[in-house]
Amino acid sequence: MLLASLVDLSRLQFALTAMFHWIFVPLTIGLGFIIAIMETYYVRTGNEFWKRTTKFWMKIFAVNFAIGVATGIILEFQFGTNWSNYSWFVGDIFGAPLAIEGILAFFMETTFFAIMFFGWNKVSKKAHLLSTWLVAFGTALSALWILVANAWMQYPIGMEFNPDTARNEMVDFWAVATSPVALNKFIHTITNAYVLGSVVVIGISSWYLLQKREEEFSRRSIKIAAIFGLISLVVLIWSGDGSGYQVSQKQPMKLAAMEGLYRSSNGTPLVAFGILNPKKNVSAMVDDSIGYELEKPYIFNISIPQGLSLLANRKFDSFVPGIEDILKGGYTYTDVNGEQQVALSVEEKIVRGKSAIAALALYNKAKEAGDDEGKEIARKQLMDNFEHFGYGFIKNPQDIVPNVPLTFYAFRVMVILGGYFILLFLLTIFMERKSLIGKSRWFQYMAITSVPLVYICSQAGWIVAEVGRQPWTIQNLLPVQASVSGVSSSSVLVTIILFFVLFSVLLIAELAILFKVIKKGPGA
Amino acid sequence: MLYFLQHYWWILVSLLGAILVFLMFVQGGQSLLIWSTKNKEEKTLLINALGHKWELTFTTLVTFGGAIFASFPLYYSTSFGGAYWLWTAILFLFVIQAVSYEFRGKAGNLLGAKTYETFLFLNGMVGTILIGVAVGTFFTGGSFVMDKMSITDIYKPTISYWTNGWHGLDAITNPFNLTMGIVVFLAARTLGLLYIIMQIDSDAFITRCKSQVKVTGTAFVIGFVLLLLVLFTMTGYSVSQENGLISPVRYKYFFNMTQLIWPLAMLLMGVILVLWGLGTSFFAKGRYSFYITGGGVVVAVWSILICAAFNDTAFFVSTVNIQNSLTLYNSSSSEFTLKVMAFASLMIPFVLGYIVYVWRALTKVKISTDEIGKADSHKY
């Protein structure tokens, strides 16, 4: 049996490298767009002020871009180095968006990045502006394809399992590229990056105002960032609602974990704020329903009546399954084809998953023996049970419950901070219009403090998305323990330490450089 | 159709690999940072000249990874998951490169300019050798086992794994792989020198590079010829299209060249271009030596990589059980995916078009201290 530590360490390494990468990427995406707007002002007005402003933000962009590139390469190759089973099992579908990302987006970003930074006196103003927009567009395009790939893991669609090759194969590219989960995820993530970029611009500009420096530069930068940020945030919230709906339809266990919802009923409330009961134990709950009564899920909570039902199913009195409901099954739900189904218990899904896996082995034996009839019987058994294939690797039903506290609190951190940023942007626009922004020290402190908060918000969003879907690398089809490479735990441990130390040092260096650049200011 | 697409994608992946070797002139240039540059000014000139191009090499490497994942996922899975330490070392060396250009010259960079220069040097020296070693495994294989049906073992569903604890580092000890690594390094360094001669405006530095390129270029040609001699006398492994069985064939790669002919013609063309390019540099001004030699390297490497898998050749041989070896037929994506990707590949000429435009825009002015010092210039 595979050592649990190998799976945990591989997950830790991926989480670590992904979280590091996500420190830098949203600023690159967000700032790229803001820089493009600023340079457009420059080209349209010919005002050197805008060129100076553009070039200052480009310095921040360049430092951030470099470390984003450095941390990104690990992620791509890690699918092979640490998740090699996964890479074969779904490489036929998952690899395509990565390759298209490389061909269409990466080259666009890096090629025009060169013009953006080295081409000021080598190409015309308009060609330079076009390059800056192409870099901004390239970063978004790159995000699109990687998010298509990520969304497919959460909602596998457009493929069929091929027993001859023992893997999933793509049959409908557009279903993969335009799945509702992918579109929502893209809009949600890209607008998150725009909001982050805006908050960083507002924060840095406010620091100058606090120092009573660069007033015109700061006010104009703040104005652009606040309007751009607010528009992005409205779309972000709208897509967040869409994401919530998609999660409820495709990943009910994730939604239950996000809500700390163990046992449900019609008209499920939405927890606006709550503290989970740390004594609540999933394994005790499954065997002993009295345990549920003894250990309430929350120590304290404020809930919106029927809110979750509305968010999840667009109906006030609908049923949103809790963790226990999903484990035990028996409730009615509407499947992706719009048909009413009775949910199976996880135990039953495990049985069916094992049946699918056994059928694949039988299929292979029959094929080797030239037994066509045996092949057909095995194929039918496999296909009838394939939707539960991944459950065959699950030992105990409780193993499909993700880390509830982490998912629950990360979700609340994300939502509460999202709400806070609406206030921040509205306040910024109001203060700017009333010309109070340069005078109000409390606002300047608030804007500066918002910079770390926007990073926390952004990371929290990914924690919800990725921790909440555990143990699946591909929803219902492949759990983490069947996805990892056959390397030793000690090797993975060493690479975790290596990358952690390296990335930490580089992060500190990046911050130190950025602080120096900011301190020097746009006048330098 | 599947047969055609498998070969089409191998041609594209091989082309990406060949272009990557050419673009590693950036790494070759970086290898000059220690010992071959006299002072800080020369280092800065070198880094700024290479700094306009490093991302192109990096992106090609990343795209190579993505393309091989999408078109031959079993190779991606088996090689990366098996030769864990070899690939991790390569990645590590490219991570330290990616930050070094931007961080080196900046105030507050924590580690100091020399550390970042050392990072660039290590990437240029060791990174190229290790990539060459990884390329060498296309011919020498690896110590892995692979069985797709292992997925049906719910307790140990690992499809492939390396059978020794070295996890790919053992590939470095193979003389052929190591020779390949050294030849790739010499190619990169030769091209790096030619790029500097073409692009940097500093007489003293260029004079030194001109004398260095004679030694490095000659070593590259000798190393390359030696490598070809070993390659053409090696035993390769052939796969039967009828039953998928794999068997050893003496002089397989030589036969691949002579039976297919066109890769041989490509190889000869590549060698002629390399010799021509080097000759113009050795005995004349060599204004276009970089492009001519670079073109030769692309065509020659492309032909060799094609021969690694064409003509029913196993391109990643299991030295533990040859029947576990990877071929174009058992490792590729499905026909549908390869077709979708083939449509995406139609964009490549457009991508190449704008790369050429940007390349020309940025190389028309030589890099000099004055040029770097211009107010509008982003410096490294």
pLDDT digits (tens, 9 = 90+) for A66-95: 999 999 999 989 999 999 999 999 999 999
Length of chain B equals 380
A184 Cα to chain B: minimum distance (Å): 23
Asked whether the beta carbons of residue B337 and residue A491 sit closer than 8 angstroms, the reply is no
A72 Cα to chain B: minimum distance (Å): 9
B154: chain A residues, CB-CB within 8 Å: 354, 357, 392-393, 482
Per-residue b/e over A227-260, b at no fewer than 16 CB within 10 Å? Answer: bbbbebbeebbebbebbbbbbbbbbbbbbbbbbb
Asked whether the beta carbons of residue B58 and residue A361 sit closer than 8 angstroms, the reply is no
Q: How confident is the model at residue A3 (pLDDT cuts 50, 70, 90)?
A: low
Instruction: Provide the β-strand partners of residue B147.
Output: none
| Interchain contact B226–A (C-beta under 8 A) | no
What does the alpha-carbon distance between residue B29 and residue B196 come to, in Å, rounded to a whole number?
A: 8
**Cβ(A350)–Cβ(A434) below 8 Å:** no
What does the alpha-carbon distance between residue A51 and residue A125 come to, in Å, rounded to a whole number?
A: 11
Instruction: Provide the β-strand partners of residue B239.
Output: B246
Q: How confident is the model at residue A269 (pLDDT cuts 50, 70, 90)?
A: very high
Asked whether the beta carbons of residue B61 and residue A73 sit closer than 8 angstroms, the reply is yes
| Interchain contact B218–A (C-beta under 8 A) | no
> Among residues 130-189 of chain B, which lie with CB inside 8 Å of chain A?
148-149, 151-152, 154-162, 165, 167
What does the alpha-carbon distance between residue A42 and residue A21 come to, in Å, rounded to a whole number?
A: 31
**Cβ(B274)–Cβ(B243) below 8 Å:** no
What does the alpha-carbon distance between residue A165 and residue B72 come to, in Å, rounded to a whole number?
A: 13
B102 Cα to chain A: minimum distance (Å): 6
Burial of A171 (0-12, 13-18, 19+ CB in 10 A): middle
Q: What interhelical angle do A91-100 and B335-345 show, nearest 10?
A: 0
Residue type, B366: K
Q: How is residue B332 annotated by DSSP?
A: S
Asked whether the beta carbons of residue A80 and residue B103 sit closer than 8 angstroms, the reply is no
* Cα dihedral B331/B335/B341/B342 (nearest 10): 110
What does the alpha-carbon distance between residue A93 and residue A467 come to, in Å, rounded to a whole number?
A: 23
**Cβ(A77)–Cβ(A92) below 8 Å:** no
Q: Is the peptide bond before A471 cis (omega within 30 degrees of 0)?
A: yes
How confident is the model at residue A284, as a pLDDT?
54
Asked whether the beta carbons of residue A88 and residue B77 sit closer than 8 angstroms, the reply is yes
Point out the residue among A62, A102, A502 whose CB comes nearest to the CB of B66.
A102
What would the DSSP string read from start to end of A15-71?
Answer: HHHHHHHHHHHHHHHHHHHHHHHHHHHHHHH--HHHHHHHHHHHHHHHHHHHHHHHH
Selected residue of B337, B348, B352, B379 to mutate for chain A interface (largest A Cβ count, 10 A):
B337
What does the alpha-carbon distance between residue B165 and residue A143 come to, in Å, rounded to a whole number?
A: 37
Point out the residue among A84, A92, A106 whose CB comes nearest to the CB of B333.
A92
Among all residues of chain B, which has the CA nearest to that of A87? B77
Strands (E), A206-349: 270-276, 298-304, 332-334, 340-342
Point out the residue among B67, B91, B110 whose CB comes nearest to the CB of A509.
B110
Residue type, B339: K
Output the CA–CA distances (angstroms, integers) from residue A513 to A62, A161, B112, B245, in the order listed.
11, 50, 11, 58
Residue A519 confidence (pLDDT) above 70:
yes
Selected residue of A16, A65, A111, A120 to mutate for chain B interface (largest B Cβ count, 10 A):
A111
What does the alpha-carbon distance between residue A319 and residue A331 come to, in Å, rounded to a whole number?
A: 9
Q: Which two tokens stand for residue B353?
A: 């078009």
B110: chain A residues, CB-CB within 8 Å: 505, 508-509, 512
Contacting residues for A8 by C-beta, under 8 A, at least 6 apart: none
Give chain A's end-to-end CA distance (angstroms, integer).
Answer: 61
Residue type, A406: L
**Cβ(B3)–Cβ(B65) below 8 Å:** no
Among all residues of chain B, which has the CA nearest to that of A161? B334
H-state helical runs in A251-281 = 252-259
What does the alpha-carbon distance between residue A80 and residue B292 come to, in Å, rounded to a whole number?
A: 36
- The three-class DSSP label of residue A336 is coil
Asked whether the beta carbons of residue A123 and residue B361 sit closer than 8 angstroms, the reply is yes
Output the CA–CA distances (angstroms, integers) from residue A7 to A91, A473, A480, A482, A493, in the order listed.
20, 12, 7, 9, 11
Output the CA–CA distances (angstroms, integers) from residue A464 to A9, A188, A192, A413, B202, in the order listed.
19, 13, 14, 10, 55
What ipTM describes this predicted complex?
0.94
What would the DSSP string read from start to end of A118-158?
Answer: H-TTTS-HHHHHHHHHHHHHHHHHHHHHHHHHHHHHHS--S
Q: Which two tokens stand for residue B154?
A: 């719910």
Residue type, A144: L
A489: chain B residues, CB-CB within 8 Å: none
The torsion angles phi and psi of A509, rounded to 5 degrees, stand at: -60, -45
pLDDT digits (tens, 9 = 90+) for A415-424: 999 999 999 9
Point out the residue among B62, B99, B151 whose CB comes nearest to the CB of A106.
B62
Among all residues of chain B, which has the CA nearest to that of A81? B81
Instruction: Provide the β-strand partners of residue A302.
Output: A273
B258 Cα to chain A: minimum distance (Å): 33
Residue-averaged pLDDT of chain A: 94
Selected residue of B94, B152, B155, B350 to mutate for chain A interface (largest A Cβ count, 10 A):
B152
Q: Which two tokens stand for residue B35?
A: 């010992």
Asked whether the beta carbons of residue A2 and residue B155 sit closer than 8 angstroms, the reply is yes
Q: What is the mean pLDDT of residues A163-183?
A: 96
Asked whether the beta carbons of residue A91 and residue B69 sit closer than 8 angstroms, the reply is yes
Q: Are strands A270-276 and A298-304 parallel, antiparallel or unpaired?
A: antiparallel
Using alpha carbons, select from B240, B313, B335 the residue that is nearest to residue B2.
B335
Q: What is the enclosing helix (H) or strand (E) of B170?
A: none
Using alpha carbons, select from A62, A30, A25, A18 the residue that is nearest to residue A513.
A62
pLDDT digits (tens, 9 = 90+) for A372-411: 999 999 999 999 999 999 999 999 999 999 999 999 999 9
Output the CA–CA distances (angstroms, integers) from residue A392 to A302, A347, A400, A458, A486, in the order listed.
39, 10, 12, 34, 19
Asked whether the beta carbons of residue B92 and residue A498 sit closer than 8 angstroms, the reply is yes
> Among residues 356-375 of chain B, which lie with CB inside 8 Å of chain A?
358, 361-362, 364-365, 374
Asked whether the beta carbons of residue B376 and residue A121 sit closer than 8 angstroms, the reply is yes
A440 Cα to chain B: minimum distance (Å): 31
The torsion angles phi and psi of A169, rounded to 5 degrees, stand at: -130, 140
B155: chain A residues, CB-CB within 8 Å: 1-2
pTM: 0.94
Asked whether the beta carbons of residue A488 and residue B61 sit closer than 8 angstroms, the reply is no
| Interchain contact B341–A (C-beta under 8 A) | yes
**Cβ(B89)–Cβ(B127) below 8 Å:** no
Among all residues of chain A, which has the CA nearest to that of B85? A491
How confident is the model at residue B372, as a pLDDT?
81
Please tell me the least confidently modeled range out of A162-171, A333-342, B293-302.
A333-342
Residue B176 burial (CB count, 10 A) = 17
Using alpha carbons, select from A67, A56, A75, A76 the residue that is nearest to residue A26.
A67
Q: What is the mean pLDDT of residues A179-200?
A: 97
Place of tokens 């899975």: B77
What would the DSSP string read from start to end of B351-366?
Answer: HHHHHHHHHHHHHSS-
Q: Which two tokens stand for residue B312?
A: 């029913």
Residue type, B334: S
Q: What is the mean pLDDT of residues A222-237?
A: 97
Residue B255 burial (CB count, 10 A) = 17
What does the alpha-carbon distance between residue A523 and residue B14 come to, in Å, rounded to a whole number?
A: 48
How confident is the model at residue A197, as a pLDDT?
98
Residue A279 confidence (pLDDT) above 60:
yes
Among all residues of chain B, which has the CA nearest to that of A480? B157
Q: How confident is the model at residue A309 (pLDDT cuts 50, 70, 90)?
A: very high
Asked whether the beta carbons of residue A69 and residue B55 sit closer than 8 angstroms, the reply is yes
Q: How is residue B321 annotated by DSSP?
A: -
> Among residues 274-333 of chain B, which lie with CB inside 8 Å of chain A?
333
Selected residue of A21, A107, A126, A501 to mutate for chain B interface (largest B Cβ count, 10 A):
A107
Contacting residues for B351 by C-beta, under 8 A, at least 6 apart: A103, A104, A107, A108
Residue A291 confidence (pLDDT) above 60:
no
A383: Cα separation from own chain's centroid: 31
Asked whether the beta carbons of residue B103 and residue A513 sit closer than 8 angstroms, the reply is yes
pLDDT by 10s per residue, chain B, length 380: 999 999 999 999 999 999 999 999 999 999 999 988 888 889 999 999 999 999 999 999 999 999 999 999 999 999 999 999 999 999 999 999 999 999 999 999 999 999 999 999 999 999 999 999 999 999 999 999 999 999 999 999 999 999 999 999 999 999 999 999 999 999 999 999 999 999 999 999 999 999 999 999 999 999 999 999 999 999 999 999 889 999 999 999 999 999 999 999 999 999 999 999 999 999 998 889 999 999 999 999 999 999 999 999 999 999 999 999 999 999 999 999 999 999 999 999 999 999 999 999 888 888 888 888 776 777 88
Strands (E), A452-496: 472-474, 478-479
Residue A468 confidence (pLDDT) above 90:
yes
Point out the residue among A70, A91, A92 whose CB comes nearest to the CB of B99.
A70
Contacting residues for B296 by C-beta, under 8 A, at least 6 apart: B269, B270, B271, B272, B273, B274, B275, B276, B277
% residues pLDDT > 90 (chain A): 91
Point out the residue among A110, A122, A491 whose CB comes nearest to the CB of B85.
A491
How confident is the model at residue B36, as a pLDDT?
86
